[in-house]
Chains A and B, each alone.
Chain A
Amino acid sequence: MDPITAMIGIIIGGVIVGICVHFIPASAVGAMSASTGIATGPSMLSTGCGLAGLYAAGFSITLGLPITVVSGALGSALMIICTMLLANVICAFGTGVAPVAGTYDKDPITGWRQKPFMSPGTDGHSMPTATAVSGIIGALLGGAGGSLVFASVYGMLTSPAVVAISPKVAAISPATAITIAGMIAAGVFLLNCVLPAYVLVGKTEGMTDPKMKKLPKTLISCTVASVFIGIFIYIAVVVI
């Protein structure tokens, strides 16, 4: 992969990772079944979900960029659907509540009414259908973004143009290059998943949440952070 293309891939991947956090339903007070969403902070959940995608993408890294990105996306989607399904199981049989959303009266997909099933004094519980769809979309985005960063860094480290001019990069074995790329992708998750926390403030219901209007703020902050990371890696690999 051409180093400049790889750098652009890192930037785009980082921004997509930031966007994914807005789609994944998560809420800290969900742990008390007091609001809709997976019962943990959006940032850490998105990181965990993206890293599961990264694990899946690792298997496909030598097969090319498209398969790596799609593998990562579906690995993340598998993690989020398992988590959502089994969180709903806990809410159903451990707490005795039905999945209810706080931000809409009727589910846009199933058309089921929400308010009658919401326990008094709470904002909803677990993940109803539309919220779950939002989670899957978020996981697909997050996994794809993280895998794009991973594949781009790997592409940059194994690029013939870079290997020809830099003996230090040429000395890196493919296995080490994969691990370096994986660590950078994991770092991008830890950075770009935390930035949206400032607009989400610990709780989001995914695409149906009014906080989606604050997406441009996330976009700007993640773009700035990703440009820094992209340029830094380019300088580290190609220039130095």
Chain B
Amino acid sequence: MEPVTLTLMIGVGLAGAIAFIAGIIEDAESDAGSASNPNSQVQLAPQIGHIIRYYDKAIAGEPPQNGLWAAAACTIALLVSWRFVDLGIGQYYAIFFAAVVGAAIICLVQGCFGVFAHLSRMGSFAPFKQPLYWDSLLTPLPYSMGLAFLTALLLTLLAFVTGGLLGNPFAPPLLALIFGISLGSIASGTGDIQYGAERLYQHHIFGAGIPVSKMGDIDLKGEYGFRNSVDTPYFCIRLGGTVTAFAFGLIIFLDGWTRLFTFAGVWTSVILEAIVVAVLFIFLVWLEKFTRDSYGPYPGQEDL
């Protein structure tokens, strides 16, 4: 096997694996901070008289927020890694340690962001008699910061792997921005459905979407005591987190995988990607048929 192909194969596998883990962590981070679309339900709850103990740091969309963390961490990492190389540390060690430094700084920034976002959110609920519970902020905060650290670290490493081993010509900070925004929109579009439609509404019947008239009527009691934001990723990581990870990991892995072959010259990757898209579309139609056959129509709606 040619060394170039071997490097590419290692790069594809490593990028896919890092992307997979980043997907799980990012989804958990957004669930812990109610950072994506289900935050609308957390905000509605005090308005209909529910006193909540959720940590709510949703003052920016999940994709730009995540893109900012990743791009900032990667920029710091790139600058610090040059300094480490000047100090005589080997290139790969320099990148890894610099990525940790970048992610640690971003973790602190995310903590400040989270504290002020939560305080301002809860402050805006004052007309609805929602108190500011310190435990609802201080319990999930270190957890959320830890998840932000891991997300920023993994996306920084992913940017260096795709730039270094796979040969993407973009600078690592731009790659990190691209991955951050893409992963944010994927996590917001896949994993958060389980948070918004199931975890927040576990006292509602399973097997139906949440009617608009019920919105805001979220769960207030947890497995023990009041429901808080540390409980949420514990539940959502099992399906929502892994499915998000699968989506992001699959994109990075398949995109790299199509570049391992050369049977049709420069058009090989394009042909293979078109085939992959077609195969996944067939899966999508099959899944639709499977769910329709398995669940059947809603009672009383068979003749609509």
Interface residues of A (CB under 8 A from B): 26, 28-35, 38-41, 44-45, 47-49, 51-52, 54-56, 58-63, 67, 70-71, 74-75, 77-79, 81-99, 110, 112-113, 115-122, 125, 127-129, 132-133, 136, 175, 178-179, 182-183, 186
The answer to whether B189 and A87 have CB atoms under 8 Å apart is yes
The answer for the CA separation of A84 and B189 in the assembled complex, in Å, is 8
Is there an interface contact between A90 and B190, defined as CB atoms closer than 8 Å?
yes
Can you list 27 contacts pairing A with B, beta carbon distance less than 8 Å?
Answer: A26-B189, A29-B212, A31-B36, A33-B193, A33-B197, A44-B62, A45-B189, A49-B182, A59-B259, A81-B280, A83-B186, A83-B190, A83-B247, A84-B284, A85-B283, A86-B190, A88-B291, A92-B291, A94-B194, A96-B206, A96-B208, A96-B295, A97-B208, A97-B209, A113-B304, A119-B209, A178-B170
Verify if B111 is at the interface (C-beta below 8 Å from A): no
**B185–A55 touching, CB < 8 Å:** no
Check B193–A87 contact: CB distance below 8 A: yes
In the assembled complex, the CB of B1 is this many whole angstroms from the nearest CB of chain A, namely 21
Cβ of B88 < 8 Å from any Cβ of A?
A: no
- Given known A39-B37, A55-B178, A183-B174, contact A32–B254 (CB-CB < 8 A): no
In the bound complex, how far is the Cα of B190 from the Cα of A79, in angstroms?
A: 12
**Residues of B in contact with A, size category:** 35 or more
Cβ of B246 within 8 Å of any chain A Cβ, yes or no, is: yes
Residue of B41, B168, B281, B283 touching A32 (CB-CB under 8 A)? B41
Which of A32, A75, A129, A178 has the most chain B CB atoms closer than 10 A to its own CB?
A32
Determine whether B219 belongs to the interface, using a CB cutoff of 8 Å to chain A. Answer: no
Which of B62, B190, B201, B274 has its CB near the most chain A CB atoms (within 10 A)?
A: B190
What is the bound-complex CA distance between A62 and B167, given in angstroms?
12
Say whether chain A's binding surface is mostly helix, strand, loop, or mixed: helix
A32-B38, A71-B269, A97-B295 known; A55 and B255 CB under 8 Å? yes
Q: How far is the CB of B62 from chain A (nearest CB, A)?
A: 8
Contact B298 A118 (CB under 8 A): yes
* Chain B residues within an 8 Å CB radius of A96: 206-208, 295
- Cβ-closest chain B residue relative to A60: B266
Interface residue from B64, B168, B193, B276 paired with A39 (Cβ < 8 Å):
B193
Query: When the two chains form the complex, which single residue of A54, A112, A121 contacts B292, counting CB atoms closer than 8 Å?
Result: A112
- CB pair B247–A86 under 8 Å, yes or no, is yes
Q: In the assembly, what is the distance between CA of A38 and CA of B295, in Å?
A: 21
Contact B210 A86 (CB under 8 A): no
* Contact indicator A77/B273 (Cβ below 8 Å): yes
Determine if B215 is an interface residue (Cβ-Cβ < 8 Å).
yes
Is there contact, CB below 8 Å, between A89 and B243? yes
Tell me whether chain B's interface is mostly helix, strand or loop, or mixed: helix
A89 and B287 contact, Cβ closer than 8 Å, known pairs A52-B251, A132-B281: yes
Q: Is there an interface contact between B189 and A38, defined as CB atoms closer than 8 Å?
A: yes
Residues of chain B within 8 A of A120, CB atoms compared: 208, 211, 298, 301
Pick the most buried of B38, B284, B291: most chain A CB atoms within 10 A of its CB. B284
Distance, CA A47 to CA B179, complexed state (A): 11
> Beyond A74-B270, A86-B190, is A33–B210 a contact (Cβ under 8 Å)?
yes
Which residues of chain A are within 8 angstroms of B41 by Cβ–Cβ distance? 32
Q: Of all chain A residues, which has the CB nearest B245?
A: A86
In Å, the complex CA distance between A61 and B170 comes to: 10
Flag if A91 contacts B193 (CB, 8 Å).
Answer: yes
Among residues of B, the one whose C-beta sits closest to the C-beta of A107 is B288
Apart from A30-B193, A78-B280, A83-B185: 5 A-B pairs, beta carbons within 8 A: A31-B38, A31-B195, A82-B251, A82-B280, A88-B287
Name the one of A38, A47, A94 contacting B240, with C-beta atoms under 8 angstroms. A94
Instruction: Give Cα distance in the complex from A26 to B171, angstroms.
Output: 30
Is the pair A44, B64 in contact by a Cβ cutoff of 8 Å? Answer: yes
Q: Which residue of B lies closest to A129 (CB)?
A: B285
**Cβ contacts under 8 Å, B166 to chain A:** 59
B117 at interface, CB cutoff 8 A: no
In the assembled complex, the Cα of A129 lies from the Cα of B289 at a distance in Å of: 10
Tell me the complex Cα distance, A24–B189, Å: 12
Please state if A90 and B193 are interface contacts (CB–CB under 8 Å).
yes
| Residue of B with least CB distance to A63 | B266
4 pairs of A and B residues whose beta carbons are closest in the complex: A121-B211, A48-B185, A116-B297, A33-B209
Tell me the minimal C-beta distance from B22 to chain A in angstroms: 14
8 A Cβ contacts from B242-259 to A: 243-244, 246-247, 250-251, 254-255, 259
Contacts of A88 in B (CB 8 A): 284, 287-288, 291
Alpha-carbon gap, A79 to B276, bound state (A): 11
**Residues of B contacting A95 in the complex (Cβ-Cβ under 8 angstroms):** 193-194, 197-198, 206-209
